[in-house]
Structure 1
Amino acid sequence: MTAEGSPRTDSEAQEPIGDLVQRASQQLSQLVRDEMRLAQAEMTEKGKRFGKGGGLLGGAGLMGVLTLQALVATMIAALSLVMDVWASALIVTAVLAAVTVLMAVLGKRQIGKASPPAPEQTINSVKADVAEIKEKAHR
């Protein structure tokens, strides 16, 4: 009987341990190769989906820019009903420029707060941990 309580077959009882280990090793190797092929196929499929999704998002971004351009043209046309076209275009351009400058200043400020790009709190915490470990080691 085997360790699990099931009776051994004659072929299993007569098969040398070396052969059993070799067969188990081959089966494990085959299992690993099969799992790697499965993982590769899955990642290929996911990569294709990411590519399609990225392309669609890029197209949506382009369409968004075109939509904003149409909105700007609409604002200019609406203002041109009460003033000259050149004046309405100048006003819309000035408003867009002001928004651009505001966004650039705010973005620069946020980037300044993120600099340097190192995890300073974590570094300081690790340094404190190392110092404490050294202190306890010397006691």
Structure 2
Amino acid sequence: MTYTVNDRPATAPRVQSPAAPGPATGPVTGQVTGAADHRSTAELVKLAAEQVSTLVRDELKLAQVELTQKGKRAGVGVGMFGGAGVVAFYGVGALLAAAIIGLATVIPAWLSALIIGVVLLIVAGLIALFGRAQMRKATPPVPQDAVAGVKADINTITHSVKDRGQR
């Protein structure tokens, strides 16, 4: 079964119990079709284990695909930021040279370079503080679709087990 991040199967795969010839069970909602209501508890537990195993494998495949796509996008974004940083570095260097030369017309050149250097260090410190605050707010990348799918599957299985136990 091939997945993309936005493609999720509408229902869980149908599984035919080898011990009970008859109709297959429906999605993992606990609904059983046909005369399969007479299966033993052992057969139902085995069937549930097979379906949960398939479900977990499918969710792991979805998480893997989702993380791969996020990683590729992040890689392209980082590369573009790197290129922009190199160009901006040279642009800022040219502007700093112009500022030092312009200020040197009023005060000595060494003093103008010193003033520009101190201002740059203050700006760098403020940017570093802001960046640290943003990093603390960042959360680790999580495959959100897969996590939501697993939570929904757990709720469905929990409710179907409770419903079956009340019969």
Q: How high is the TM-score relative to the length of structure 2? A: 0.45
1:93 maps to which of 110, 113, 127? 113
Structure 2, unaligned stretches of length 5 or more? Answer: 1-30, 130-167
Distance 1:95 1:8, change over 3 A: closer
Please give the alpha-carbon distance, in whole angstroms, between the structure 1 residues aligned to 2:86 and 2:94.
Answer: 12
What amino acid does structure 1 have at the position aligned with 2:49?
S
Matched, 1:9 2:34: yes
Please give the alpha-carbon distance, in whole angstroms, between the structure 2 residues aligned to 1:26 and 1:101.
Answer: 62
**Greater length-normalized contact order (CA 8 Å, ≥ 6 residues apart):** 2
Matched, 1:48 2:72: yes
What amino acid does structure 2 have at the position aligned with 1:15?
R
1:39 offset after TM fit, Å?
A: 0.6
Conserved 8 A contact 1:72-1:92? no
Distance 1:96 1:77, change over 3 A: closer
Distance 1:97 1:19, change over 3 A: same
- 2:83 corresponds in structure 1 to 59
Please give the alpha-carbon distance, in whole angstroms, between the structure 2 residues aligned to 1:44 and 1:71.
Answer: 40
Secondary structure, in 3 states, of the residue corresponding to 1:32? helix
Aligned length: 96
Please give the alpha-carbon distance, in whole angstroms, between the structure 2 residues aligned to 1:45 and 1:100.
Answer: 38
Larger of the two Rg values belongs to structure: 1
1:18 maps to which of 42, 47, 61? 42
Conserved 8 A contact 2:100-2:116? no
Please give the alpha-carbon distance, in whole angstroms, between the structure 1 residues aligned to 2:78 and 2:33.
Answer: 57
Structure 1, unaligned stretches of length 5 or more? Answer: 1-5, 111-139
Conserved 8 A contact 2:100-2:112? yes
Please give the alpha-carbon distance, in whole angstroms, between the structure 2 residues aligned to 1:64 and 1:7.
Answer: 64
Higher helix share: 1
1:37 offset after TM fit, Å?
A: 0.7
Provide the aligned C-alpha RMSD in A. 3.3
Q: How high is the TM-score relative to the length of structure 1? A: 0.52
1:73 offset after TM fit, Å?
A: 3.2
Please give the alpha-carbon distance, in whole angstroms, between the structure 1 residues aligned to 2:56 and 2:81.
Answer: 36
Please give the alpha-carbon distance, in whole angstroms, between the structure 2 residues aligned to 1:68 and 1:62.
Answer: 10
